[in-house]
Amino acid sequence: MVSAATSNAVPQSLRALAGSDLLSSADLSAEQTAALLQLAADLKAGRTLIDLGGKVLGLIFSKASTRTRVSFTVAMARLGGQTIDLNPQVSQVGRGEPVADTARVLSRYVDALAIRTFGQDELAEYAHWASIPVINALTDLEHPCQALADYLTLAEAFGDARGLTLTYLGDGNNVAHSLMLCGALLGVNVRIGCPAGYAPDPQVLEHAQQLAAAQGCTVSVLHEPLAAVRGAHALYTDVWASMGQEQEKAERERAFAGWCLNEELIAEADSRAIVLHCLPAYRGLEISAGAMEGSASRIFDQAENRLHAQQALLAALLAG
């Protein structure tokens, strides 16, 4: 029997990504984004097997994580590689060793780094000094790996994501930013519904709108929940207070009153609309228990898809 387990299975359209960083959803071209989702679907279905031949991914996570940490670890195992958890609390990173030194040393040991931290600037500094791919595993600005899994889930539900409308309700945060950029690259109309004062970063919005114009879709910001969800094919939300904003929790709960993704809002969306949440979720705040557990929810498929999307990403970045 001929084994399909070969890194040659990475499609030609993704070969240019080998050795690259993924710091932002916008680091990928439209073609690469679509090809990564196709590879993720092929890996999920077992149509493609890729063996990275023992490559090693280092995880540097300065914030808590369940899904991202575990899905990266399992993705590497399924690709025939392994992962080392370089928890800042037990490495010299937590004692202040400079990024420039850490990045250069780790580049001699491991084949890629997935980094979860606060500032995008710190991530960029790692990428500057490292000679291996650096992957954004969430910063305050973006969560590109999440967006790949999200659009894979949307494509699974509708056959193709292009031309659909995804509405994100809530804080114009890291998850919203990557949804805007990645959605624009995939030809998805992205609406951000948020209270005034919690809109996405204007520079990210402008960039997403430029990318969207090239794909014939739109990225917009609305400040009224019903208008934001009307006719949408996916309703998505995230926590109102992200990691690092714990002290703003009460103030944000007041500001986001009326923005809970609930059955009333789902009724205004397309009749086939799916409900998404990156998790972890707070039932009764940004999402109702009914929306979370209802028949439209694809939230746990979405969480599973983190594994498949990251397997595709790792295969592309570490190929060859």
Q: Contact positions toward ligand NVA, by CB under 6 A?
A: 138, 173-175, 238-239, 242-243, 278
Is 79 or 239 the residue whose CB approaches ligand NVA more closely? 239
CA angle (47, 53, 58) in 5-degree steps: 105
Q: Which is nearer to ligand NVA, 150 or 238 (CB)?
A: 238
Of the residues 24, 48, 62, 68, which one makes contact with ligand CP according to CB under 6 A:
68
CB of 12 to ligand CP, least distance (A): 30
Give 312's contacts (C-beta < 8 A, 6+ positions apart).
Answer: 36, 37, 39, 40, 43, 148
Stretch that binds ligand CP, among 11-19, 61-69, 103-111, 185-193 (CB under 6 A): 61-69
CA distance 24 to 67: 19
- Of 25, 44, 60, 67, the one binding ligand CP (CB under 6 A) is 67
Class of residue 290 by CB neighbours under 10 A (exposed 0-12, middle 13-18, buried 19+): middle
Our finding on whether 305 is near ligand CP (CB under 6 A) is no
Q: Of residues 127-186, which lie at the interface with ligand CP (CB under 6 A)?
A: 138, 146
- 66 interacts with ligand CP by CB under 6 A: yes
Task: Supply the residues annotated as catalytic.
Answer: 116, 143, 146, 238, 278, 306
Minimal distance, residue 179 CB to ligand CP, in Å? 12
Nearest to ligand NVA of 10, 114 (CB atom): 114
Locate 31 and state its tokens: 């073609």
* Residue 75 makes contact with ligand CP by CB under 6 A: no
How many residues of this chain interact with ligand CP, rule: CB under 6 A?
Answer: 8
